[in-house]
């Protein structure tokens, strides 16, 4: 049965559901990318927004569309396709649940987008209370999350069905990975759903006057850090399972890949305080505990780095490579399905190192809320993750639409990846440098009353505008490639590459499928890291904040 499902195509009905998600994702990329271009231009000091449009409104569009909409819709679409491919076609009931989820999330997205465009919600994508957006903005975001829960239910149902049909067998690797990411998402979204439904929505509707800022932020960041792993793990799925097949080799180790995903599930959530290190109201000992838990994801990250480069090296050597780095020459650099995600992997090395600085108990103070942080996550999510999504798009979209990636498109895709790398080197590099000098993130162009220090930042802001403009060209290319692959590429068969494990005989230990155990440990770690400081925040709460609309 496993063999049969591996060789088959994703069912056209499931393909349609996946593609629906991708249309939304790439629309978000186009509009969000344009917003990004406007921002870097404004911040260069040489350009002003027309028609009285506010910088922070554009910034909200950029963050919501790229940070929330592009990622969430792409991930849901990719999960569905990966599970349908490796565990079999969805049942009609599962697919219906998936469509309901899609429409709920889309309605929510449109509601939030309309409020942002009407300037009723210029609160950025983190919507920190007590900046008070229109209630429909919060309701829209809630619907996006609720819709994602329906799609999560599809993944969980399909997994359960596969396990029932194959007792005693480890689930297909891609399904297992999609399930882990889904479970992490479900546990994490409880936090953001709680603050929005219990605190922000009643307050924005005028039912209550004030909001407890400390609790709202803590619930937000309980969700906010697993959110970044929710973005990252689909890229890891592609790195572990897809890329080896693309270059024509096997998955380095099925069991170790599963173990690293389990570790991500455990250590992604009880770590939100490392985003709140400089905040009052939280005892520093609890901050430190969460710093330690944060750093434990270093272990699965090192495992991932090892297994990827081991895959590449053993492939190169099997092709006769010699010397320490001779295998690099044997890699299929002309194949965008490999090269574009590979650029992403490389970007993740400085991205991860910068992340360690950010999460360090003390060093955080040097960079917190400076544009260094913006530079950091443009390396991680906006390069490593997004270029891998693009690398997936190059084969997944034609696979789903019954078309092929032509030589010409492949070439364009390579150009796209290289332009992205060049643009991001300028933009992210300049952001890191300016951040170390103190330039703040999330701020419009300002000379800060003619301060000499602020004048030093302006050349870096011009470099950001140069990089950002190159990136926008890369965005346009990517949207063009997507439209080609979705509607115009020649009909044909495009492979859905799923790598097989090196040692098929060695079955993954069944303990990895024991969800009572792994979810149990996840919950225990969360309770351990959060219970006491959270009770402290409630018991020692100051009078609430009224807040309001400040834009």
Smallest separation, CB 95 to other proteins (Å): 36
Contact assessment for residue 98 and residue 151, using Cβ atoms and an 8 Å cutoff: yes
Contact assessment for residue 242 and residue 251, using Cβ atoms and an 8 Å cutoff: no
Q: How is 19-56 classified by DSSP, letter by letter?
A: HHHHHHHHHHHHHHHHHHHHHHHHHHTS---STT--HH
Residue among 99 and 286 whose Cβ is closer to other proteins: 286
Smallest separation, CB 335 to other proteins (Å): 26
Residue among 9 and 442 whose Cβ is closer to other proteins: 442
Other residues' Cβ atoms within 10 Å of the Cβ of residue 324: 8
Smallest separation, CB 209 to other proteins (Å): 11
Cα separation of 23 and 20, whole Å? 5
Residue among 207 and 452 whose Cβ is closer to other proteins: 452
Token representation of residue 81: 């396709």
Smallest separation, CB 139 to other proteins (Å): 21
Smallest separation, CB 236 to other proteins (Å): 17
Residue among 447 and 493 whose Cβ is closer to other proteins: 447
Residue among 498 and 501 whose Cβ is closer to other proteins: 501
Secondary element (H or E) of residue 139: helix 135-165
Length of the chain: 551
Cα separation of 444 and 55, whole Å? 6
Smallest separation, CB 368 to other proteins (Å): 5
Beta-bridged to residue 370, according to DSSP, are: 440
Cβ within 8 Å of residue 73, ≥6 positions away: 21, 22, 24, 25, 28, 105
Cβ within 8 Å of residue 141, ≥6 positions away: 68, 108, 112, 127, 192, 196
Place of tokens 């455990």: 266
Cα separation of 40 and 469, whole Å? 8
Residue among 98 and 354 whose Cβ is closer to other proteins: 354
Catalytic residues: 225, 229, 376-378, 441-442
Residue among 360 and 406 whose Cβ is closer to other proteins: 360
Q: Would the CA dihedral through 29, 118, 20, 124 be positive or negative?
A: positive
Smallest separation, CB 182 to other proteins (Å): 24
Residue among 56 and 223 whose Cβ is closer to other proteins: 56
Token representation of residue 491: 């009909």
Q: 3-state secondary structure string, 57-121?
A: HHHHHHHHHHHHHHHHHHHHHHHHHHHHHHHCCCCHHHHHHHHHHHHHHHHHHHHHHHHHHCCCC
Smallest separation, CB 331 to other proteins (Å): 20
Cα separation of 529 and 527, whole Å? 6
Cα separation of 422 and 360, whole Å? 29
């Amino acid at each position: 049965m496993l063999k049969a499902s591996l060789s088959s195509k994703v069912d056209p009905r499931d393909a349609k559901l996946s593609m629906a998600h991708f249309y939304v994702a790439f629309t978000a990329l186009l509009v969000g990318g344009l917003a990004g271009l406007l921002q870097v231009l404004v911040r260069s000091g040489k350009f002003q927004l027309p028609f009285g449009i506010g910088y922070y409104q554009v910034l909200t569009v950029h963050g919501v569309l790229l940070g929330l909409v592009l990622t969430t819709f792409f991930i849901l679409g990719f999960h569905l396709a990966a599970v349908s491919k490796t565990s079999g076609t969805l049942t009609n009931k599962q697919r219906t649940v998936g469509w309901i989820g899609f429409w709920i999330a889309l309605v929510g997205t449109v509601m939030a987008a309309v409020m942002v465009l009407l300037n009723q919600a210029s609160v950025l994508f983190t919507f920190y209370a007590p900046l008070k957006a229109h209630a429909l903005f919060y309701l829209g975001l809630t619907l996006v999350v609720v819709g994602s829960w329906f799609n999560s239910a599809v993944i969980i149902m399909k997994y359960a069905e596969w396990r029932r049909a194959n007792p005693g067998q480890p689930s297909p690797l891609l399904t297992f990975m999609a399930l882990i990411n889904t479970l992490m998402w479900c546990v994490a979204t409880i936090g953001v759903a709680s603050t929005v439904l219990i605190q922000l929505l009643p307050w924005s509707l005028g039912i209550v006057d004030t909001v407890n800022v400390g609790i709202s932020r803590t619930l937000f960041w309980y969700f906010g850090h697993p959110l970044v792993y929710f973005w990252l793990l689909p890229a890891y799925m592609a790195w572990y399972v897809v890329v080896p097949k693309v270059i024509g080799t096997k998955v380095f180790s099925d069991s170790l890949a599963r173990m690293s995903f389990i570790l991500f599930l455990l250590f992604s959530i009880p770590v939100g305080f490392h985003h709140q290190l400089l905040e009052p109201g939280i005892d520093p000992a609890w901050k430190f505990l969460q710093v330690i838990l944060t750093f434990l994801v270093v272990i699965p990250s090192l495992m991932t780095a090892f297994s990827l480069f081991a895959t590449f090296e053993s492939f190169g050597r099997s092709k006769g490579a010699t010397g320490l780095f001779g295998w690099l020459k044997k890699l299929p650099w002309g194949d965008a399905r490999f090269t574009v995600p590979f650029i992403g992997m490389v970007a993740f090395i400085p991205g991860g190192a910068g992340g360690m600085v950010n999460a360090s108990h003390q060093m955080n103070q040097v960079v917190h809320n400076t544009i260094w942080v913006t530079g950091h996550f443009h390396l991680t999510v906006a390069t490593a993750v997004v270029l891998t999504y693009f690398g997936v798009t190059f084969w997944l979209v034609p696979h789903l639409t019954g078309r092929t990636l032509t030589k010409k498109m492949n070439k364009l895709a390579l150009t796209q990846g290289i332009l992205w790398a060049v643009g991001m080197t300028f933009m992210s590099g300049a952001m890191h440098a300016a951040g170390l000098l103190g330039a703040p993130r999330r701020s419009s162009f300002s000379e800060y009353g003619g301060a000499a220090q602020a004048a030093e930042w302006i050349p870096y802001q011009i470099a950001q505008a140069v990089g950002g403009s190159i990136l926008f060209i890369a965005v346009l290319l990517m949207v063009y490639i997507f439209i080609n692959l979705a509607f115009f590429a020649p009909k044909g068969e495009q492979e859905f590459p799923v790598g097989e494990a090196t040692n098929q005989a060695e079955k993954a230990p069944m303990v990895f499928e024991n969800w009572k155990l792994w979810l149990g440990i996840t919950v225990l770690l969360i309770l351990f890291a959060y219970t006491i400081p959270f009770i402290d925040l409630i018991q020692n709460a100051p009078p609430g904040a009224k807040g309001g609309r400040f834009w």
